[in-house]
Amino acid sequence: MTAVAPPRLPLGGIDRLLARISYGYDPWLRDRAHSLGWTAFLEEQLHPESFPDPRGDAVVARFPTLSMTPRQIWDAYGVNGQHQVPMVELQTATLLRAALSRRQLHERMVEFWGDHFSIDQSDSQASILKTQDDHDVCRAQSLSSFPLILRASARSAAMLFSLGNYRSMASSPNENYGREILELHSLGVGNYTEHDVREAARCLTGWGFLQFGDPNAGTFRFEPSLHDNGPKDLLGLAIPAGGGILDGYKLVRLAALHPATAQRMSRKLCRWFLGAEPQPVVDAASAEWAATEGDLRSVLRIVLAPSSFASVPEGVQKTKRPFHLAAGILRALPFQFPNPTQLAGELAAMGHRPFHWPAPDGYPDAASAWVGGLQGRWSFASRLFANQVSGVRIDVAAVFGTAPKSSWARRAAYALRGPGPLTTDVDAVQQYVDGFASASDALRAETLALTASAPSFQVY
């Protein structure tokens, strides 16, 4: 695809794209976007491996369990009941990578997949296994193709554990995963029958993983003796007897490329990035899904095209989920994290501890689910800027330098949101600042906290 003329940009220009494919403002990414232009910038973000990411890498290096196999995590923490260690490391690292990585579109897709293939980490063995799932499924396949990520998820020990498939056998098939792979992960409810659920479950019998105690614990394993090798009839396709492991692969491919899946996933991606589901965009993305066999980069080029943004009614905004809010604050400001043990708990207090949604459908992507938690957001901002979140230090003074008090609200808004039109929130914050006779560090922190608590910072 070669662009002859620069694309017509929607209102707000490339900052619209930047806001939706990132966790918020930081000077580096904004400069990059503006210097490359829409198409080249999007292309770069669609290929995260093509550019270095030192700060993202530094986060990974800080948390040893991120690079460990399930067996290593089990030996180091599982056997002595320290399941919290790998869980909290993964949660904290996820937030810090969202804040610090330059591969912002990748991180936004990692979050998307984390919810799409939702696994409750607090569910027993998932505490050990989710780290591998995050690495092999949500990250490794974040921008590959849907058949590949669905297949990776189907081979993920964490998924096979949390939906009970690891105990599914020909004599007593467990329909849990067979159902969810159709209902939640691909076609969506209403596009398959109960018969399909049973057949999907039969296709997946024998799909499990090596248990703890095995040297390669957590590795996918197909056990032929547990597999139902009879003929199957799934979504209108006859699957002959004796297919073995191929039955499951056929299911994955059939589900991944089903027209209902293309529609549903296109819609879901539109909602995630555009905050709306304009039917022409959904249709174009679905057609691209069919033409490219679910190639995620190709589909995202459609969803994230300037014309797609232009087709969303003006004024449609998305409400940040608490994770997004926290990542956005940390992203915008200089901070150190010598021992960030409390960050995950802060997310939990806002109801959004990563990988802790108790159902397999993932944290909701709807404002209505989240706006009830404003007090938690305000408390988080207040504690963070007052440096009361242990193990994390925000350099509050650096935001204001020697600027006079009369410009603090603008300074804070610029630091958190970057250049752009001033909202009425800025006046309200400045009015608050003006109410105090003298400058103080406490007032600086409050100025930032109020700016981050303002309604304009809850949306993007």
Partner 1 sequence: MNPIETHPPIAANRPDRRAFLLGGAAAATALTLPRVTFAAATSSAVDSLVLVFLRGGMDALSFCSPYADPNLQSARPGIAMPGPGLPNGVLYLDSFFGLHPQAAPLMAAYQSGQLLIVHASGSPASSRSHFEAQNRMESGASSQPGLGLSTGWVARHLAVQSGAGVLRGMGTSDTLTRALTGSTGVLPIRQPGQFRMPGATGTAYARRVALDGMYQQASAELASAGRDTFATIDLLGSIDFQNYAPSGGASYPATPFGAQFQDTAALLKANVGVRCVEIDLHGWDHHTNLGAIGGSFAALTSELAQTLAAFRTDMGGAFGGVDVVVMTEFGRRVAPNGNLGLDHGRGGCMILMGGGVAGGRVLTQWPGLAPSQLHDGDLAITIDYRDVLGEMLVRRFGCTNLPDVFPGYTPQFRGVAL
| Tokens coding 58 | 């530094």
Q: Does 435 bind partner 1 (CB under 8 A)?
A: yes
Q: Are strands 220-222 and 232-234 parallel, antiparallel or unpaired?
A: unpaired
What is the size of the binding site for partner 1 (CB under 8 A)?
54
Q: Does 241 bind partner 1 (CB under 8 A)?
A: no
C-beta of 141 vs 453, nearer to partner 1: 453
C-beta of 45 vs 447, nearer to partner 1: 447
Binding residue for partner 1, selected from 212, 222, 249, 432, defined by CB under 8 A: 432
Distance CA 412, CA 399 (A): 7
C-beta of 311 vs 456, nearer to partner 1: 456
Helices within 102-223 (DSSP H only): 104-116, 126-133, 146-154, 157-162, 175-183, 194-203
Q: Name the nearest CA neighbour of 332 among 41, 100, 13.
A: 100
Distance CA 347, CA 389 (A): 11
Smallest gap from residue 345 Cβ to partner 1 (A): 9
Look up residue 278 and give its DSSP letter.
-
Smallest gap from residue 20 Cβ to partner 1 (A): 17
Q: Is the dihedral of CA 271, 374, 347, 399 positive or negative?
A: positive
Smallest gap from residue 184 Cβ to partner 1 (A): 8
Distance CA 343, CA 134 (A): 19
C-beta of 110 vs 429, nearer to partner 1: 429
Q: Does 374 bind partner 1 (CB under 8 A)?
A: yes
C-beta of 48 vs 322, nearer to partner 1: 322
Distance CA 208, CA 129 (A): 13
At residue 299, the 3 state secondary structure works out as: helix
Q: How many CB atoms lie within 10 A of CB 454?
A: 22
DSSP states along 31-70: HHHHHH-HHHHHHHHH-GGGS--HHHHHHHHH-GGGG--H
Q: Which stretch binds partner 1 (CB under 8 A): 16-24, 34-42, 281-289, 380-388?
A: 380-388
Q: Does 162 bind partner 1 (CB under 8 A)?
A: yes
Convert residues 306-345 into a mask of x (bound to partner 1 by CB under 8 A) and - (unbound): -----------x-x--------------------------
Distance CA 280, CA 214 (A): 51
Convert residues 105-144 into a mask of x (bound to partner 1 by CB under 8 A) and - (unbound): ---------------x--x---------------------
| Tokens coding 454 | 């303002």
8 by Cβ neighbours in 10 Å (0-12 / 13-18 / 19+) ranks as: exposed
Q: Does 406 bind partner 1 (CB under 8 A)?
A: no
Q: Does 424 bind partner 1 (CB under 8 A)?
A: yes
Binding residue for partner 1, selected from 220, 222, 249, 378, defined by CB under 8 A: 378
| Tokens coding 291 | 């033409």
The three-state DSSP-derived secondary structure of 194-239 is HHHHHHHHHHCCCEEECCECECCCCCEEECHHHCCCCCEEECCEEE
Look up residue 295 and give its DSSP letter.
B
Q: Which stretch binds partner 1 (CB under 8 A): 75-83, 86-94, 270-278, 362-370?
A: 362-370
| Tokens coding 21 | 């494919």
Q: Which stretch binds partner 1 (CB under 8 A): 247-255, 275-283, 330-338, 364-372?
A: 364-372
Q: Does 373 bind partner 1 (CB under 8 A)?
A: yes
Q: Does 367 bind partner 1 (CB under 8 A)?
A: yes
C-beta of 167 vs 297, nearer to partner 1: 167
At residue 313, the 3 state secondary structure works out as: coil
Binding residue for partner 1, selected from 84, 279, 336, 375, defined by CB under 8 A: 375
Distance CA 428, CA 410 (A): 11
Q: Which stretch binds partner 1 (CB under 8 A): 52-60, 231-239, 294-302, 354-362?
A: 354-362
Q: Which stretch binds partner 1 (CB under 8 A): 109-117, 240-248, 357-365, 390-398?
A: 357-365
Burial 76-99 (b: 16+ CB within 10 A, else e): bbbeeeebebbbbbbbbbbbbbbb
| Tokens coding 400 | 């204001």
Q: Which residues pair with 336 in a beta bridge?
A: 393
Smallest gap from residue 348 Cβ to partner 1 (A): 5
Q: Does 439 bind partner 1 (CB under 8 A)?
A: no
C-beta of 237 vs 459, nearer to partner 1: 459
C-beta of 298 vs 382, nearer to partner 1: 382
Q: Does 259 bind partner 1 (CB under 8 A)?
A: no
Q: Does 441 bind partner 1 (CB under 8 A)?
A: no
Binding site for partner 1 (CB under 8 A): 120, 123, 162, 164, 176, 179, 183, 189, 194, 197, 317, 319, 348-349, 351-353, 356, 358-359, 361, 364, 367-369, 371-376, 378-379, 381-383, 386, 424-425, 428-429, 431-432, 435, 442, 446, 449-450, 453-456, 458-459
